[in-house]
Amino acid sequence: MNIPGNIITLIAGILLTLISLWYGQNHGLMPVEASEGAAQVDGLFNLMMTIATGLFLIVEGVLVYCLIKFRRKKGDKTDGPGIEGNVPLEIVWTAIPTVIVFILALYSFEVYNNLGGLDPETSRDFPQEEMQMAENQGKMVAYNPHQGHLSLGIGNSKADLEVEVNGIQYAWIFTYPDSGVISGELHVPVNKQVKLTMKAGDVIHAFWVPQLRLKQDVLPGRDSALAFSANRIGDYPIVCAELCGAYHGGMKTTLHVESEEDYQKWIQENTFASAEEKADTMAMMTQPMSEEKRLEMHSHHLGVTPETLAQLHN
Ligand SMILES: [Cu+2]
């Protein structure tokens, strides 16, 4: 039986397309999606995966086919034909990637815009006073006055909850301005617009939550922002994604996405705790205190019993 070559090519093309489309949706490489933004980012990633699978199969398929089909026959010592080039073929293999890159650029811009990347809240001018201050101190400032708006991170002008994030070697500290709660873990209510205003206390860090598909550099002397709405209750890792020193690997904590009730409960419990802590600190600062009393107060926060402390002290 002799099947014409173009039919075989057609069948191979259909098969390749089907495999690429299937694998683009079923690669299983991503962790769970915990926000609406995550689903959009995955849409873009899946398209890239589909294209990449197709290209991989074409390139490897042609390679393996040629290895077998055009292998050296026994006793054949002649040279291959001297091929100089093929203009139509070269135009085609330049045009196809160009079109793919344009499609991906437009699509990713669309996703970025949907996430709030072009929100005027974050795309604001560099503050003039800070610029002047830095200049007076003789510091170099990475700023191009002709650039106009500098955007850092993605913003959201209609946030339900704002949290200040401070990245320091080697921890994340979260401050809730409304309640005064300070915590080493991030708690947010589900399905609410959250805006993080982020600063670094020392070196460059990067705030990364894979399940939200969000990552943003956190810089000393320059605020950056992240906005998201988590739509899946659960605990997700927050990781520092910028090598920031010897213990960079230990710079991680947890994002707790909770129901509104659980979130309020946590805020209440911690408002009380932080008020108590503040009172302790105030007391320590204002009145002289014996060494024992001071240690006892610290032991309370560290979870050490007075008995253990007494033993240590003797
Ligand atoms: Cu870090």
Instruction: Answer yes or no: is 53 within a domain.
Output: yes
Q: Are residues 250 and 282 in the same domain?
A: no
- List phi, psi (to 5°) of 227: -125, 140
Q: How far is the CA of 149 from the centre of ligand 1 (A)?
A: 27
pTM, to two decimals: 0.72
Alpha carbons 197 and 174: distance in angstroms, whole number: 10
Print the domain residue range for 107.
Answer: 5-69+90-115
Tokens matching residue 207: 């705030």
Coil, helix or strand at residue 57: helix
Query: What type of residue sits at position 187?
Result: H
Alpha carbons 188 and 162: distance in angstroms, whole number: 10
Q: How far is the CA of 241 from the centre of ligand 1 (A)?
A: 7
Q: How far is the CA of 237 from the centre of ligand 1 (A)?
A: 14
Q: How far is the CA of 227 from the centre of ligand 1 (A)?
A: 20
Q: How far is the CA of 245 from the centre of ligand 1 (A)?
A: 7
Mean pLDDT of 23-50: 94
Read off the DSSP letter of residue 134. H
Q: Are residues 230 and 285 in the same domain?
A: no
Q: Are residues 287 and 217 in the same domain?
A: no
Query: What type of residue sits at position 284?
Result: M
Q: How far is the CA of 205 from the centre of ligand 1 (A)?
A: 4
Which pLDDT score is estimated for 128?
55
Q: What is the pLDDT of residues 252-280, one digit of tens each?
A: 999 999 999 999 999 988 887 666 666 66
Q: How far is the CA of 167 from the centre of ligand 1 (A)?
A: 7
Which pLDDT score is estimated for 24?
93
Q: Are residues 236 and 289 in the same domain?
A: no
Cβ–Cβ under 8 Å, residues 194 and 37: no
Q: Are residues 248 and 297 in the same domain?
A: no
